[in-house]
Structure 1
Amino acid sequence: MTKSIVTSFTALAASFVLSGCLTMAPDNERPQVAIEKNFGQQPEAPHASLTLEAWQDFFPDDNARRVIQEALQSNTDLRIALARMSEVEGRYQIQREALFPSVQSEVSQTRTKNSANVFTIPGVDSIQDVYSASVGLTSYELDLFGRVRSLSDSALAQYLSSTEAARSVRLSVISQTANAYYSWVSANRSLNLAEKTLHSRQESLDLIQKRLDTGIASELDLAQAQASLATVRAQKAQFERAHAAAKSALELLIGKPLSQVRLDQQQLQLNEMALDLPDSISSEVLLSRPDVLSAEQSLYAANANIGAARAAFFPSISITGQYGYSSTEFDNLFDSESNTWSFIPSIRIPIFNNGLQANLDIAQAQQERLIAEYEKAVQQAFAEVYQLMTNRTTYSGELEANRSLVKAQSKRLKLAEAKYKAGLASYLEVLNAQQDKFTAEQALLETERAQLANVISLYKALGGGDKAVVLSQQPHNDEPQGDSEGSSGETE
């Protein structure tokens, strides 16, 4: 009876070892997060997927692509993230090796001099050589309860989390650099507008001075023209500071002066970028964002740590073995008489160890924390995309209104100048028209820049990056999974 029980237990243990499927970790399931099911105006028919172009195709401006590439090569945050990813990958490789027996071979020679006072023949020194060759199995743990498997799964999930974290940093660098570049271009355009307006005000002042000299204009007209010129000069100084700040921010991101980047000066303009999105998008697409995927993999790592902590309560069996040859003569080292072997099984049975329960409590607390962090990541992603998509629907109307305003103010200025020259209006009416036109032009430039920044931020918020990607509803996985296209393509 006892022999039958032992045989059955041995067969069961062997099946566990061979299958490697036993684990005490909780199932990997995505937490359900309370958010709206879709973005947009058609809740009954949301699109479950959408395609985003690679950033090299998304940005139509050669200059923008060039500065982004510079930033990706030199950005310190990205270098830190990539180095951290490589570090975690190394830890995973080390932990994974514990799943397999470690076999090593050794060939050695030992020469020993024995004391003449203890040797069998007094007064005679003895030097003895021992040659040995062996192959050994070093303390291999039979993973009966999945402890080693769980630790390996945890290390894998941590590595996948680090790859998604690096991808998230990379997307942030792309988005920040693009926005910084277009902010610099917009500041350059605002400065050019101020210089053009200043030149126009100077011409107006010169004209008023001539009219005053001929008795047509008044001292009041001259004073008003001088005040208008001083106002624009002050505004130009503000634009110069904004331009310098935008240039400094861009240079900080690319890691070098702009003078060292080959830019086409003819393309320093705000190019429209189209982000073709359906009217209604399923919020499931957010599950493909790298920050959400990173939080998900961190949660899977915590689940695996719980499995390892639970398995530690059960006995563990380790095996150490060695087979080889040993002889005092090298010539007969591999003779059958020189054969040696050893087999050392050991079993560890925890009896009183409060630390095991503490480790399990820690692992479960980490799981609870990471569930909350995953829910927070999804909620933040939804809030970000929702706001950006709401902004997207309003900018087109604002741009159209500002363009109409600039046209109307330009027409108003022409009429005011004509009335003033005909003596039908005071110069104050011209000054008011000039200032209102300048303000409208500034507002148009700012709206164009803000609309462009919103498109770039929405592209990043939806997970656009190095490769064209299809964002779609993700299945609920039971094993740690990585976004293979994102994990490999985004972090090269």
Structure 2
Amino acid sequence: MTKSLTSKSLTSVTALAASLILSGCLSMAPSNERPQTSIEQSLGKNLVAQDAAFTLEAWQDFFPDSNARVMIEEALQSNTDLRIAIARMAEIEGRYQIQREDLFPTINGEVSQSRTKNSANVFTIPGVDSIQDVYSANVGLMSYELDLFGRVRSLNNAALAQYLSSAEAARSVKLTVIAQTANAYYSWISAHRSLNLAEKTLQSRQDSLDLIQKRLDTGIASELDLAQAQAALATVSAQKARFERAHASAKSALELLIGKPLSTVDFDSQQLQLVEMAIELPDNINSDVLLSRPDVLSAEQSLYAANANIGAARAAFFPSISLTGQYGYSSTEFDNLFDSDSKTWSFMPSIRIPIFNNGLQANVDIAEAQQQRLIAEYEKAVQQAFSEVYQLMTNRSTYHGELQANRSLVKAQSKRLRLAEAKYKAGLASYLEVLNAQQDKFSAEQALLETERAQLANVISLYKALGGGDKAVTYEPQKNAEASDSEMTRSGDAE
């Protein structure tokens, strides 16, 4: 009884092992595990991440300015880098579909007719016509490989990982286009505002010069005052010329991104302003958020493709079995083509056993070298992501104070200018004091505009660096700490 049970158990185990091999479950590829990277746990000043969730809105909701959304839509439709990335993704998807077909048998049907004339000097039988017709109808199995050691499945996994990598690369390009276009749009607005400020300042300097000329004509002002006013006017005129070049350059950069002249874009030209945007983030967030950036995910999938290629290279050392078969009908008369006597079939299994092939080991060496390179590239991608986000978050914490200080400076310089002008008109100060106050006020206003633009650019870059995009992204540290992959929870339509 015991012997019988043991025999049955052994038979069951053998059958299970055979079924696993025949089903292609055996794999010689390394397991897919994310490499450990040497970065801090927290993206903040403290080493411990705060246990708080945050959400990145879809870009259509993140940008409150309708003009910015219009510019981004135009750029996404015409950007050549994005079109190249999408085409590359479609190409790799097609290759994956082709590779995937090797997992399943290929069945082909064929109906044919052939007419041949036999040589009378070679083949002569009395009563047999030298011209012969043959009709055939066949269904065939085309050289299907039994994936005993997972070679075909490994190649399929490699093709799938390469496709996923290309999809993440396309998403990364799309995020870059969104961020670049938004920054270019607000840079253009900032240059437009700077030019307007220079034009107003120039008009103010011209009014001051006219006033000094009148005061000189009545004997109240001096030639020195007139010369100082003329110098101030020339200085601002030169600055205005520089702002005109900067404005033209910003406009050209924006038009290059959207792929058309601004004059052909339907946007509200009366609403050209720098809007306030912010991302509500805790001061210290878990650095696992970086693992869901598209560039990091692309590097990760490329590494998984390399692992699968190692499995395919290793499996090539073992025998492979291919099956080829055909079943059908063949007859010299079409009328009896499908009679039982016209049936034909063939079955041709073949086995390939590598004996002397040094190229097989070379293929393994190449695949393993590629794996080591991609591990290093993955680690580099994570480290670069950490450095980028850390710097942007550090900048984020300082811009608020800088903006407040510059706004206070503009108010103080405006008050100083009013007092200096009043003192000059009362004869209690020289015109040089007014000129200094005018120039300092102009510089303070320019600094405020630049800080507002830089703060907005930092917010946009941080949004991109954290992996924002076509759909809302919610990051929950506590939930992700329990998950093995530590990935973002995404909601919304697929990108």
For Structure 1 versus Structure 2, the TM-score category normalised by the shorter chain is over 0.9
The answer on 1:489 being equivalent to 2:494 is yes
Please show how residues 62-81 of structure 1 align to structure 2 within 5 Å. 62-81=66-85
Contact 2:392 / 2:461 at 8 angstroms: preserved in 1? yes
Contact 1:48 / 1:284 at 8 angstroms: preserved in 2? no
One-letter amino acid of the structure 1 residue matched with residue 41 of structure 2: K
For 1:314 and 1:270, the matched residues in 2 are separated by 65
* SS of match in other structure, 1:459: helix
CA deviation after TM superposition for structure 1 residue 49, in Å: 4.5
The answer on 1:31 being equivalent to 2:35 is yes
Please show how residues 89-128 of structure 1 align to structure 2 within 5 Å. 89-120=93-124, 126-128=130-132
For 2:120 and 2:85, the matched residues in 1 are separated by 65
Which residue does 1:133 correspond to in 2? 137
Among 33, 52, 55, which residue is 2:56 paired with?
52
One-letter amino acid of the structure 1 residue matched with residue 401 of structure 2: G
Aligned CA distance change for structure 1 residues 476 and 281 (closer, same or farther; 3 Å): same
Segments of structure 1 that go 5 or more residues without pairing to the other structure are none
CA deviation after TM superposition for structure 1 residue 298, in Å: 0.3
Deviations 1:51-74 (CA, angstroms, capped at 9, x unpaired) = 100101111111100010000000
Contact 2:473 / 2:488 at 8 angstroms: preserved in 1? no
TM-score, normalized by length of structure 1? 0.94
CA deviation after TM superposition for structure 1 residue 265, in Å: 1.4
Contact 1:72 / 1:173 at 8 angstroms: preserved in 2? yes
One-letter amino acid of the structure 1 residue matched with residue 226 of structure 2: L
For 2:127 and 2:292, the matched residues in 1 are separated by 83
Deviations 1:303-344 (CA, angstroms, capped at 9, x unpaired) = 000000110111111110111111111111111111111111
Deviations 1:66-114 (CA, angstroms, capped at 9, x unpaired) = 0100000000000000000001001100111000111111111111122
Which residue does 1:323 correspond to in 2? 327
For 2:247 and 2:123, the matched residues in 1 are separated by 92
Contact 1:54 / 1:469 at 8 angstroms: preserved in 2? yes
For 2:323 and 2:487, the matched residues in 1 are separated by 34
* SS of match in other structure, 1:388: helix
CA deviation after TM superposition for structure 1 residue 118, in Å: 3.7
* SS of match in other structure, 2:467: coil
Which residue does 1:250 correspond to in 2? 254
Among 141, 166, 169, which residue is 2:170 paired with?
166
Which residue does 1:195 correspond to in 2? 199
CA deviation after TM superposition for structure 1 residue 391, in Å: 0.1
Among 346, 356, 362, which residue is 1:358 paired with?
362
* SS of match in other structure, 2:169: helix
For 1:254 and 1:100, the matched residues in 2 are separated by 45
The answer on 1:144 being equivalent to 2:155 is no
Deviates more, 1:454-463 or 1:8-17: 8-17
Contact 1:410 / 1:437 at 8 angstroms: preserved in 2? yes
For 1:476 and 1:25, the matched residues in 2 are separated by 20
CA deviation after TM superposition for structure 1 residue 116, in Å: 3.6
Aligned CA distance change for structure 1 residues 77 and 159 (closer, same or farther; 3 Å): same
Deviations 1:127-172 (CA, angstroms, capped at 9, x unpaired) = 2111111111111100000000000000000000000000000000
Please show how residues 198-347 of structure 1 align to structure 2 within 5 Å. 198-347=202-351
| Total equivalences in the alignment | 482
Deviates more, 1:156-165 or 1:102-111: 102-111
* SS of match in other structure, 2:393: helix
* SS of match in other structure, 2:322: strand
CA deviation after TM superposition for structure 1 residue 39, in Å: 1.5
Deviations 1:331-360 (CA, angstroms, capped at 9, x unpaired) = 111111111111111111111110000000
* SS of match in other structure, 1:489: coil
For 2:371 and 2:296, the matched residues in 1 are separated by 16
For 2:493 and 2:22, the matched residues in 1 are separated by 31
* SS of match in other structure, 1:345: strand
Deviates more, 1:32-41 or 1:393-402: 32-41
* SS of match in other structure, 1:263: coil
The answer on 1:439 being equivalent to 2:433 is no
For 2:124 and 2:379, the matched residues in 1 are separated by 79
One-letter amino acid of the structure 2 residue matched with residue 367 of structure 1: Q
Contact 2:22 / 2:146 at 8 angstroms: preserved in 1? no
CA deviation after TM superposition for structure 1 residue 45, in Å: 4.6
Deviates more, 1:425-434 or 1:261-270: 261-270
Deviations 1:179-216 (CA, angstroms, capped at 9, x unpaired) = 00000000000000000000000000000000001110
* SS of match in other structure, 1:21: coil
Deviations 1:387-411 (CA, angstroms, capped at 9, x unpaired) = 0000000000000000000000000
CA deviation after TM superposition for structure 1 residue 231, in Å: 0.2
Which residue does 2:5 correspond to in 1? none
CA deviation after TM superposition for structure 1 residue 50, in Å: 2.6
What RMSD over aligned residues (CA atoms) do the two structures have, in Å? 2.2
Contact 2:120 / 2:130 at 8 angstroms: preserved in 1? yes
For 1:486 and 1:354, the matched residues in 2 are separated by 50
Counting aligned pairs with the same residue, the percent is 82
Contact 1:40 / 1:280 at 8 angstroms: preserved in 2? yes
For 1:383 and 1:131, the matched residues in 2 are separated by 72
For 1:471 and 1:367, the matched residues in 2 are separated by 30
Contact 1:29 / 1:476 at 8 angstroms: preserved in 2? no
Which residue does 2:409 correspond to in 1? 405
Contact 2:24 / 2:149 at 8 angstroms: preserved in 1? no
Among 454, 458, 464, which residue is 1:460 paired with?
464
* SS of match in other structure, 1:464: coil
Deviates more, 1:32-41 or 1:76-85: 32-41
Deviations 1:453-480 (CA, angstroms, capped at 9, x unpaired) = 0000000000001111123538446xxx
Which residue does 2:383 correspond to in 1? 379
For 1:83 and 1:483, the matched residues in 2 are separated by 27
* SS of match in other structure, 2:354: coil
For 2:123 and 2:356, the matched residues in 1 are separated by 50
* SS of match in other structure, 1:267: coil
Deviates more, 1:108-117 or 1:137-146: 108-117
Aligned CA distance change for structure 1 residues 323 and 339 (closer, same or farther; 3 Å): same
CA deviation after TM superposition for structure 1 residue 126, in Å: 2.6
Among 153, 175, 181, which residue is 2:157 paired with?
153
Aligned CA distance change for structure 1 residues 465 and 216 (closer, same or farther; 3 Å): same
* SS of match in other structure, 1:98: helix
Segments of structure 2 that go 5 or more residues without pairing to the other structure are 1-7
One-letter amino acid of the structure 2 residue matched with residue 448 of structure 1: E
Deviates more, 1:123-132 or 1:320-329: 123-132
Deviations 1:223-282 (CA, angstroms, capped at 9, x unpaired) = 000000000000000000000000010011010011111121121000001211112210
One-letter amino acid of the structure 1 residue matched with residue 333 of structure 2: E
Deviations 1:358-398 (CA, angstroms, capped at 9, x unpaired) = 00000000000000000000000000000000000000000
